[in-house]
Amino acid sequence: MKVGMNLLLWTDDPVDESWLPLYERLKDMGFDGVELPIFDADPEKFAALGRRLDEMGLERTAITVRNPADDPISPDSSIRETSLAVARRALDCCEAAGSSILGGPLYAAIGQFSGAGPTEEEWSRSVSAMQQAADYAADRGTRLSFEFLNRFEIYLLNSTADTARYVTDLDRPNVGIHYDTFHAHIEEKDSAAAIREHARQISHVHISENDRSTPGRGQVAWDSTFDALVESGYDGWLTIEAFGSALPSLAAATKIWRRMFDDEEQLAREGLDFIRREWTKRTPR
C-alpha cells in the first residue's frame, strides 16, 4: 500500500515549476507519490516534471475528467472522436510523467445530464471508446481506473456495482474501478460490502472525507472502509483527494464556499497520519 496526495488541493497546473518546493515538502512529510491532474496536456512539460519527481523520490498517479466537448457518450461522432484524441493525449502525458495509472470519470462528461438515466446506446458508446483508450494505454504501460461519481455530478456510473459491470464489459486486462470514499459515502448503502464484493476489480482508491476536507474528521464510515480494504487484500494507492478555495474554478465545480480546514499542508499531514495509523493497526507486523 502506498499513500499519495492529489495536487488539486493546490493547483490544476502541476507542471508549473513554482510548485516544486511543495512537492519536496510532501515527500518530507512521508508521501510515496503525488497525483497529477492532467488538463493542459503537454507531454514535454509532464516529462520534465517526471524527471524532477524522480529526483525527489516521488512516484506518480494521474487523473483527468471529460467535458461536453469530448464526451465519449455523445451521439455526435465528431465529439466521440475528439474524446478518444483527448484520452490519448492524456495518456501520452502519463507515459511522459511516469504515471502508472490514469483515474477519474474517464467514461462520460462530468456535470452534463440528459434528464434521464443512462441508455444502452450511451453505455455502448462509452465502452467502445474506452476499449480503444485502454488498448492505447496498454501500449504505454498505463492502467485506466474508472471513478464512479455521485448522482449530482454524473449519471452513467454511480456505484461500485455499476463500475464493476462497466469494467467487465470493457474486457481489458489494464482496467479497474477507481473507488472514492466521498462518492461511496453518498451512493452506497453499505460501503464495506461494496468493497468486499468487488475487491478484485478495485485498482485505485481516493481517501476523501464527506465534506472534502481533512480525512478522518468527518462522517465517512472509516472503520468499516479500512477493515474491508485490508481484509480484501487491497495493495494499491490510497490517495488523499481534498478540495478547498485555492482554485476558484474548482471551488465553483465542487460548490465549496467556506473554509473547512486551517491550512492545506496541515490537511495533507493530518490525512497522511490518519491513513498510516488506520492501516498499520489492521495489518500484521
Report CA Rg, the chain: 18
40 lies in some domain: yes
Amino acid, single-letter form, for residue 21: P
Above 80 in pLDDT, residue 173?
Answer: yes
250 has pLDDT over 90 = no
- For the chain, the distance separating the N- and C-terminal CA atoms, rounded to the nearest angstrom, is 14
CA distance 51 to 86: 24
133-137, 146-150, 243-247, 249-253: lowest mean pLDDT where?
A: 249-253
> CB under 8 Å to 234, separation ≥6 — which residues?
1, 195, 199, 202, 205
Do the beta carbons of residue 66 and residue 106 sit within 8 Å? yes
* Mean pLDDT in residue range 22-26: 98
pLDDT of amino acid 131: 98
Torsion angles phi and psi, residue 139, rounded to 5: -65, -20
Q: How confident is the model at residue 246, as a pLDDT?
A: 72
Cα(65)–Cα(106) distance, rounded to whole angstroms?
A: 6
Question: Taking residues 143-154, what's their average pLDDT?
Answer: 97
- pLDDT over 80 at 187, yes or no: yes
Q: pLDDT band for position 252 (50/70/90)?
A: low
What is the distance between the alpha carbons of residues 96 and 191, in angstroms, rounded to a whole number? 35
Confirm whether 64 is domain-assigned: yes
Domain that holds residue 89: 2-280
Say which DSSP state 220 is in: S
Confidence at residue 251, expressed as pLDDT on a 0 to 100 scale? 62
Task: Tell the burial category of 232 from Cβ atoms under 10 Å away from its Cβ (0-12, 13-18, 19+).
Answer: middle
Q: Which three cell numbers stand for residue 276?
A: 498510516
> Does pLDDT of 278 surpass 80?
yes
Structural domain contains residue 243: yes
Give pTM, 2 decimals.
Answer: 0.96
Digit-coded pLDDT (tens) for 114-125: 999 999 999 999
Q: Is the pLDDT of residue 17 over 90?
A: yes
Cell of 171: 474486457
Mean predicted lDDT score pLDDT of the chain = 95
Asked, for residue 251, whether it belongs to a domain, the answer is yes
> In this structure, is residue 285 part of a structural domain?
no
Using the predicted structure, report yes or no on whether residue 243 has a pLDDT greater than 80: yes
Q: Please tell me the distance from the alpha carbon of residue 49 to that of residue 30, in angstroms, as a whole number.
A: 19
**β partners of residue 176:** 145
Confidence of residue 262 (pLDDT cuts 50, 70, 90): confident
pLDDT for 285 equals 66
Instruction: Write down the pLDDT at residue 9.
Output: 94
Looking at the 3D structure of the chain, how many domains does it have? 1
CATH of the domain at 129: 3.20.20.150
Express each pLDDT in 35-61 by its tens digit: 999 998 899 999 999 999 999 999 999
Neighbours of 200 (CB within 10 A): 12
Task: Tell me if 25 is assigned to some domain.
Answer: yes
Q: What sign does the CA torsion over 182, 156, 35, 102 have?
A: positive
Is the pLDDT at 240 greater than 70, yes or no?
Answer: yes
Q: What is the distance between the alpha carbons of residues 31 and 78, in angstroms, rounded to a whole number?
A: 41
pLDDT at residue 259 in the model: 79
Cβ atoms of residues 4 and 240 within 8 Å? yes
The number of beta carbons lying within 10 Å of the beta carbon of residue 28 is 9
Task: Give pLDDT, residue 38.
Answer: 97
Q: Is a pLDDT exceeding 80 seen at residue 253?
A: no
pLDDT of 257 higher than 90: no
pLDDT, position 144: 98
